[in-house]
Structures are given as C-alpha cells and as structure tokens.
Amino acid sequence: MSIRTLDDLLAEGVSGRRVLVRADLNVPLDKQSGAITDDGRIRAVLPTLSALTGAGAQVVVCSHLGRPKGAPDPQFSLRPVADRLGELLGVTVRFATDTVGESARSTVDALADGEVALLENLRFNAGETSKDEAERGAFADQLAAFGAAYVDDAFGAVHRKHASVYDVAARLPRFAGRLVLREVEVLSTLAGEPERPYVVVLGGSKVSDKLAVIEALLPKVDRLLIGGGMCFTFLKAQGHEVGSSLLEEEMVETCRNLLERSEGKIMLPVDVVVADAFAPDSPHDVVRADGMPSKRVGLDIGPETVAGFAAALTSAPEGAGAPGGARTIFWNGPMGVFEMPAFANGTRGVAEAIAGSGAFTVVGGGDSAAAVRALGLDESSFSHISTGGGASLEYLEGKTLPGIAALEK
C-alpha cells in the first residue's frame, strides 16, 4: 500500500494554501444539556491540525456527528465541537452554519494563514451518505472547492463510502493524517504476525456484530475472552439458563459451532452479576454462569471471571510458544453495562489487567475507548486506543476500507 502522508504535504509547503481535513468529531453529547461528554476524538485530530496551522495552512475541517436524516437537526450541530476544538487548539475556530452554502463559503473565504474553520455537520446534506453516485459526487465537488489539498484523519469513518471520505479524495491531491497513519500501522501489526501469545478480549451487546471478526481472528489467536451482553448467547449455546439477559436466539447454533471449532481457545464467564431489572439501582448479586435465575438479567461479568480473564492475560497458554503472559492484546467491547457504577467492575477489572499486562495493547475504539475515559483509567497505560470501533473491526476482518483505498496512489 502506497499512501502519501501529511509529512509529504508539509514538505511541499502549505503556507497560504487551503487544506480540507476530514476529521472524525463524532463525539457523544449529553441529551439534556448538549455538552460534550467525551472529547477523545477531538483530541485525537489535534496533531494533524496543529501541524497544518503551524505551517501556515488555511485549514477547513469537516465531520459528521450522529445520524441526522440528511437535513439540518439542531441536536446534531457541531457548534459545541467548534468551541471545544478552539479551546484545545488555543485558537478561535470559525464555524460555518451550513455545509457548502453561503455561510460555509464566506467562513472559508475569511480564513487567514494558520486559521481554522469547521463546517456544519456533513450529514445535514443528503449527498454525504447517498448511495446515488451522482448525488454523492455533486456534494463532493462542492466540498473539494474548499481545498487545494485533502487530508483524511477520520479513521472512524474510513469504512464508509461517503462523499467526504471517498469521493473528495478522488478530486484533490490526497494525504493521510497522523491519526489515520497510526491506526493503519497498529492494525496492520494485528492483522499480520502479532507477537504471541496473542489474546483478544471481545464484549459488547451482539454476537452478530462481532461474528465476522471472531471468524477472522479465531485461527490467529491463542485465547479469545468473551464478556458483555454477547456472552449470554454463548452461554445459551452451552445449554445454560440466561434469564432475561440479552440473547440472539438465531445466533445460538452459530455460537455452538464456534465453541466446537475453537479448540478450547474461547473463554466464557464462569460467574455473572444479575439484577432484577436493567436499572442503575436495581437489586443485584453474583451467581454462577450455569445457575442464572430465570427471571433476572445479567449486566456484568462476575469477580471470578475477572480474575480468570486477568490470569489468561498474564499467563501463556500451553503451546503458545512463549513464556509469561500475552505479548499482544486486542480489546473491543465492554464486559458489562459500565455506564452504571454497579455494573462497571467487570470492565474496569479487565481493562486494568490489560493495562498492566506489559503486552502491546490495542483498545478497539467505540465503547471500549469510552469506557477507558469514563472509568478514569490512564490512557497512556495502553499502547494504542483506536478512534474507530467499526473501522478497526472491519480492518481486522480483512475488508477493504473505502477511505483507505481512496488514499492510495
């Protein structure tokens, strides 16, 4: 793969030139106040933006936020993101109240060297996500008019064939930003020949969301630890009662087949935290995974499972060919409903074990990255925290990511 990088663009010189940057500023917002609850994705793009502004570029940033239906929706406005981006960059970020309209044109035209503008949510324009190539291309033409060069630093969106990710790259000299380069470098290591023992930890709600990556990883890993809501479909496949826990009945036979083919690599919870209801203050206790009451709901892995998973991360499986614990760990998906303190201990315990393992550790974006920050864990104790949950999984599945393919020479 041959991709021109931000350093290549900087070497050409960007002073006085307008550069369009696709960032992933899709941050979570508080539903009541509209305040940003996790600015991790904003901070992730700062190295690229700072390099460009420091070199005198006129930087035009574009991003999506949430899933508006192709028309303006105030609850998905990027205005609070513009304010936070300005605070982190230490400059005023000019904000356009539309994507490619009069406000966008006047805001971009007013930029001086070293200044930054942020366009309104790209998904307020139906052309961004359209499956009609002509409609998508027309929007891409309008976006491309805002730059003399294009930098993609939105790894969390590279698995989408959207106008700002795929089509704009065909219309301008194109370069990969710092974040995208780092993500590809790290995930290439995992997809290639990672140092072993290689242990993968998967959580989250649905087996169906992770089936393709499980199929792709199972032959490569030494251990696969499964928690979160998806574990209950596996437990059901073992013949256990799962009460009113999250269950994909149509995936039970698939899980049974995976367990049979795993050669003992798959580890499931041996105990779980069950509650009377899905609520933060619901009465709860720990039960054996093979003894769940029929009318209760599982919301976290139990302490014995945390200890077992931690041991699996710090001791080599038989025949793995290396002494000691895991040398490479990939984690995607929380172990329980970490947003509720009563059901956050499983995610915290496993995350702390990963962080303290001494291995090359990759947190696969999405809720896993959010959990690291929400639980107050030291981000620097992980080798890499991805900004793209879906993108990182699709990369490891071996899929071609449109945004990466578009950057190739």
Catalytic residues: 41, 206, 366, 390
Q: Does 227 appear as a known binding residue?
A: no
Secondary structure of residue 51 in the 3-state scheme: helix
22 is in an annotated binding site: no
Strand bridging mode 18-23 / 149-153: parallel
Contacts of 391 (CB under 8 A, 6+ apart): 155, 156, 157, 158, 159, 183, 365, 401
Residue 171 is labelled as binding a ligand: no
DSSP string, 327-391: SEEEEES-SS-TTSGGG-HHHHHHHHHHHTS-SEEEE-SHHHHHHHHHTT--GGGSSEE-S-HHH
365 labelled ligand-binding: yes
Is 368 annotated to bind a ligand? Reply is yes
d(CA 131, CA 121): 18
CA distances from 323 to 315, 319, 331 (A): 8, 10, 21
- Tell me: is residue 109 an annotated ligand-binding position: no
Q: Is 379 flagged in the annotation as binding? A: no
Measured distance CA(311)–CA(250) in Å, rounded: 32
384 among the known binding-site residues? no
248 assigned binding-site residue? no
Residue 265 known to bind ligand:
no
160 is in an annotated binding site: yes
7 labeled binding residue: no
**Cα(331)–Cα(361) distance, rounded to whole angstroms?**
8
Q: How far apart are CA 229 and CA 278, in angstroms?
A: 12
Is 101 among the annotated ligand-binding positions? Answer: no
- State yes or no: 240 annotated in a binding site: no
Torsion angles phi and psi, residue 354, rounded to 5: -65, -45
What is the C-alpha to C-alpha distance for residues 43 and 81, in angstroms, rounded to an integer? 11
Q: Do 262 and 224 meet the contact criterion of CB atoms below 8 Å apart? A: yes
- Does 89 appear as a known binding residue? no
Identify residue 132 by its one-letter amino acid code. Answer: D
The DSSP symbol for 289 reads: T
Give the separation between CA 34 and CA 80, rounded to whole angstroms: 8
Mark the binding-site residues for ATP, compressed into ranges.
Answer: 210, 298, 339, 365-368
Mark the binding-site residues for substrate, compressed into ranges.
Answer: 24-26, 41, 64-67, 123, 160
Mark the binding-site residues for (2R)-3-phosphoglycerate, compressed into ranges.
Answer: 41, 123, 160
Mark the binding-site residues, compressed into ranges.
Answer: 24-26, 41, 64-67, 123, 160, 210, 298, 339, 365-368
